[in-house]
Structure 1
Amino acid sequence: MKPRIIIFDVNETLLNLIPLKEEVNAALENEMGFEVWFPKLLHYSLVETSTGNYSDFSEIAAATFKMISGKFEKKFSDEEIKNILSEITKLQAYPDVKPGLEQLKNADFKLIAFSNGKPDVLKAQLKYAEIDFLFDGIHSVEEIKKYKPNLESYRFILNKYKISPESALMVAAHAWDILGAQRANLQTCFVERPGKSLYELAEDPDFSVPKITSILEKIS
């Protein structure tokens, strides 16, 4: 079925996290710093949801950064951590993103950005990357207070736009995001960003693409 709306994950799917990675690694003085911290951030966002609680993504990011800093024999003040992680609002879109979104917009698809990030951070990110105007809706899980890949987060978007799961396509570079959307019965598209791979115990997505500019030909 041709989708009526296309839902995009933001970080690593649309925006390149390299500047944040470099900032984190420089602060921790270790090239593995980001690789230790970022999965911990995702892990504790899921802990929050699975235990029926909600703290916003920026709070969890700071708390988990403080948790892992000891592994690298570092100690930071809250203000220092805030400054390090503020790089999240200064990320560029991958080169294929803007032209790919424009193609889909011009083909009359409704485009939705949907992120685990705080609403103000999400909007600042998309504005800095100069792609905010291409979206018909920009949403944070803060509206439902359940982090992706909890199934209710995807259903929130479906209910918001009064659309069936089969009429929505979730686009992400994270296997866990694809899996969550699949199990909420959405169509799925995996974006093959560097270092990203699918989860072998899940079904394959409906299709995979190397770039956002490859999506239109798959769904036309």
Structure 2
Amino acid sequence: MTTLPRPASHGTAAPDVRPVRVTGPRVARLLEETEGADAALRAALTDSFWSEAEHLGSPLVEEIDGEPHHRAVTFLWRGHRATRRVLLCGNRITDRDRLAGSLLERVPGTDVWHLGLRLRSDHRGSYRLAADLALGDAPADPAALQQRLRSLSAHAAADPLGRRTVATRWQSADSSVFALPDAPAEPWAGRRGTVPAGRVERHRVPGAAPVGDRDVWVYLPPGRDRVPAAPLPVVVLCDGDMWL
């Protein structure tokens, strides 16, 4: 197994936290089945694979023999004849300084693109995918390839086979979200009809150059309009556009 380039912002990560590139069992089986198969059989095997992936959702999450605290997580993309490269943009997974380490591989003779990672079983994260349809081979020079992939990453979008999405800052496209079996529970994340809802107000706060005006979001608890005005506890969070 080959360790993926580690994001510089991570510092020195423990070996069990660091993502490691692997081939998951399901893709390994597809590789074995399609090797040497004729076109008709290969197409049938590929269609069966995609039917299974659509049923299960992406990424595929599979157990690893002898490693109960890790999973093989396989990100997928269904390409076509014009697909040249597919890039995974994974939060805290992809190294933005070495994007080539997060390129998916193609199962030869099929439209299946895949990237498998060994991740801790309590991992939860967001990601997007970007397909490069440009003609020509990838630049041989690492710096030129990095620049090409950086441009490609700006067009990344949510996984078509993903089950959950979350808003993404600075891009119009959402990100996909995945959680492995031992990820901490989020009982507070979903809406519950029995819990009164507050409201969110958005305000524009004037600011001097070079920063300029800023948006501020204020959450008011339920019932605030029905009680006399009184000071409320204040919690200040940066990144209000993501929280609220």
Shorter-chain TM-score bucket reads under 0.3
* More strand, by proportion: 2
Q: TM-score, normalised on structure 2?
A: 0.22
**Between structures 1 and 2, the one with greater helix share:** 1
Report 1 or 2 for greater relative contact order, CA contacts < 8 Å, sequence distance ≥ 6.
1
Q: If you compute each CA radius of gyration, which structure gives the higher value, 1 or 2?
A: 2
TM-score by length of 1: 0.24
